[in-house]
Amino acid sequence: MQPYELSLAQAADSIRSRRLSPVELADSVLERVEQVEPHLQAYVTVTAEHARRAAREAENDIAAGRYRGPLHGIPMGLKDLIDVAGAATSASSRVRADHRAQADSTVAARLATAGAVLVGKTHTHEFAYGLTTPQTNNAWDRERVAGGSSGGSAVAVAAGTATFTLGTDTGGSIRVPAALNGVVGLKPTYGLVPRHGVTSLSWSLDHVGPITRTVEDAALVLTALAGHDPRDPASLTTPAIDYRPGTGTDLTGLRIGVPRNYYFDHVDPEVEAAVRRAIAHLESLGARLVEVEIPLTRYIQATQWGLMVPEATAYHEGTLRTVPELYQDDVRILLEAGELMPAGDYLRAQRSRTLMRQEWARMLQDVDVIAAPTVPATAVKAGQETITWADGTVEGVSDAYVRLSSPANITGVPTLSVPVGHDTAGLPIGMQLLGRPLGESALLRIGHAYQQTQPAPTLAPAA
Phi-psi region of 71 (alpha: psi -120 to 50; beta: other; left: phi over 0): alpha
**Strand, helix or coil at 222?**
helix
Residue 417 annotated among the catalytic residues of the structure: no
DSSP 420-463: EEE-TTS-EEEEEEEESTT-HHHHHHHHHHHHHTSPPP------
- Cα separation, 89 vs 170, in Å, equals 18
Helices then strands, counting H and E runs in the chain, come out as 15, 13
Q: Please identify which of the residues 21, 173, 235, 398 carries the catalytic annotation.
A: 173
The C-alpha angle with vertex 84 and arms to 321 and 130, in degrees rounded to 5, equals 45
Q: Give, in order, the Cα–Cα distances in Å from 15 to each of 6, 70, 77, 214, 422.
A: 11, 9, 19, 18, 32
Q: Please identify which of the residues 7, 21, 28, 79 carries the catalytic annotation.
A: 79
Residue 187 annotated among the catalytic residues of the structure: no
Q: Please identify which of the residues 28, 105, 149, 441 carries the catalytic annotation.
A: 149
- Cα separation, 131 vs 172, in Å, equals 8
- Cα separation, 427 vs 333, in Å, equals 31
Residue 352 annotated among the catalytic residues of the structure: no
Beta strands 369-373 and 288-292 are unpaired
- Cα separation, 36 vs 143, in Å, equals 14
What are the beta bridge partners of residue 370?
257, 434
- Cα separation, 14 vs 165, in Å, equals 20
- Cα separation, 218 vs 220, in Å, equals 5
The torsion defined by the Cα of 34, 39, 42 and 44, in degrees rounded to 10, comes to 70
Total length of the chain: 463
Beta strands 386-388 and 369-373 are unpaired
- Cα separation, 251 vs 239, in Å, equals 26
Please give, one letter per residue, the 3-state secondary structure of 365-386: CCCCEEEEECCCCCCCECCCCE
What are the beta bridge partners of residue 137?
145
Give the residue from 47, 44, 45, 53 showing the smallest Cα distance to 73: 53
Question: Which residues are catalytically annotated?
Answer: 79, 149, 173
